[in-house]
Amino acid sequence: MKRTTDGGLPAIREKEALALVTEMMAVPGKSCEEGLIATHIRKRLKAIGIPDAAVSVDAVHKQSPYGGTQGNVIVKLPGTIKAPRRLLMSHIDTVPLCVGCKPVKKGERIVSKDPKTALGADNRAGASVLLNTLIEIQRQKLPHPPLTIFWPVQEEIGLVGARYVSLSKLGSPKLCYNWDGGDPNAATIGATGGYDIDIWIHGIASHAGAHPEAGVSAAAVAGIAIADLVKNGWHGLVVKGNKTGTSNIGIVQGGDATNVVLPELKIAAEARSHDPIFRKQIMEAMRAAFEKAVTEVKSVTGATAKLVFEADLKYESFKLDENEPAVKSALAAIEAIGMPASTRITNGGLDANWLSARGLPTVTLGCGQENAHTVDEALHIEKFLAACRIGLLLATGAV
């Protein structure tokens, strides 16, 4: 382990780190509208002497199916020590519920003063870990390997910034760390993969009292398909032999009158599994159930509904080896600040899914978030500060 000149590990200034995250959480920036927070970060970078030439903003929002106004912010610094490049990343968008929040300290936590908003600790806490790390490196003139600091946009709506970032802009990092989540000492080294599925059933409208037989009910088609999935074990928890996954019909929308045979239904669903082949099988079973159901509902003239079934792989699964350098160094950094380190696999999607699937093995660490996406959201101060300490150790290559 490399030490600073006085023999200790590099330290952070707690008050400043806390002021930074408080300020960052107050800046609005829901997905697709990250302009203000990106500007805020760039201002702070300038203030600590990061040259403009080291900062780039891409146009990833132009590739986004959701649109948006802001690209990813990326800082690339040459190393002052010779070692493989390290990447630190953390998304800068929040869920819409956070807009307007007023962060205040309450005991061991920071919470939103307005009971109607969330806090935005997800993920301004992570974004602040990165910024604080750069602030400390500059202030203490700490030696460091080549660094890429990556603030992706549009994580909450589909991991867009990480999915579409041009890898050439990241400078071939060998060790990658992502901050998002709660416990600073749990390293997430794997996650499931999932499809987002959109299903449209275009039936035929008719008067439900006078000529119901002339219509084709989209509700009847959906009912048969969903019953089929449930009966055959393809809905909810899906277990076939030693393969497991999940599926869910999440949204069913359609209809506006009881006296009309329901002509249109839009269904939004998902399918997840760590196993990409099985995940696809679940998705295909859903497609097959709807295709079959369409043939079973006919009008008096033999007409059937039209089905549109679209599946988008929203995030690919990954599982890192425990010997992966990013994993080993992350665990060493956690232990170096005196916390017990552990690894885990999650059933959710992370920006790390896309980077890992695209060839950059990425470990995800927590940064003190609690009850994300709810009005009870809080930032656990000690956990956030621990994440800042770990971030600085990893960025400086101290572990």
**Interface residues toward Zn ion, by CB under 5 A:** 122-123, 180
Q: Closest CB to Zn ion among 180 and 228?
A: 180
Type of residue numbered 16: E
Burial of 113 from C-beta contacts in 10 A (0-12 / 13-18 / 19+):
exposed
- The pair phi, psi for residue 142, each rounded to 5°, is -80, 135
Type of residue numbered 275: D
Q: Closest CB to Zn ion among 151 and 309?
A: 151
Q: Closest CB to Zn ion among 123 and 281?
A: 123
As measured in angstroms, the least distance from the Cβ of 120 to Zn ion is 10
Q: Closest CB to Zn ion among 132 and 281?
A: 132
Q: Closest CB to Zn ion among 369 and 396?
A: 369
As measured in angstroms, the least distance from the Cβ of 373 to Zn ion is 9
Q: Closest CB to Zn ion among 58 and 180?
A: 180
As measured in angstroms, the least distance from the Cβ of 350 to Zn ion is 8
As measured in angstroms, the least distance from the Cβ of 17 to Zn ion is 19
Q: Are 166 and 58 in contact (CB under 8 A)?
A: yes
Q: What CA–CA distance (Å, rounded) separates 97 from 95?
A: 5
Residues sharing a CB contact under 8 Å with residue 29, sequence separation 6 or more, in sequence order: 35, 36, 37, 38, 92, 93, 94, 120
Q: Which of 265, 355, 399, 392 is nearest to 10 (CA)?
A: 392
Angle between helices 121-140 and 14-26 (to 10 degrees): 140
As measured in angstroms, the least distance from the Cβ of 359 to Zn ion is 22
Q: Closest CB to Zn ion among 136 and 180?
A: 180
Q: Are 216 and 202 in contact (CB under 8 A)?
A: no
Q: Closest CB to Zn ion among 180 and 270?
A: 180
As measured in angstroms, the least distance from the Cβ of 306 to Zn ion is 38
Q: Which of 122, 120, 126 is nearest to 25 (CA)?
A: 120
Buried b (16+ CB within 10 A) or exposed e, 194-221: bbbbebbbbbbbbeeeeeeeebbbbbbb
Q: Are 297 and 246 in contact (CB under 8 A)?
A: no
User: Do β-strands 318-319 and 186-191 pair in parallel, antiparallel, or remain unpaired?
Assistant: antiparallel
As measured in angstroms, the least distance from the Cβ of 91 to Zn ion is 6
Q: What CA–CA distance (Å, rounded) separates 155 from 146?
A: 25
Which two structure tokens, joined as six digits, stand for 184? 């600073």
C-alpha dihedral (44, 47, 52, 57), degrees to nearest 10: 10
Q: Closest CB to Zn ion among 31 and 247?
A: 31
As measured in angstroms, the least distance from the Cβ of 219 to Zn ion is 36
As measured in angstroms, the least distance from the Cβ of 269 to Zn ion is 23
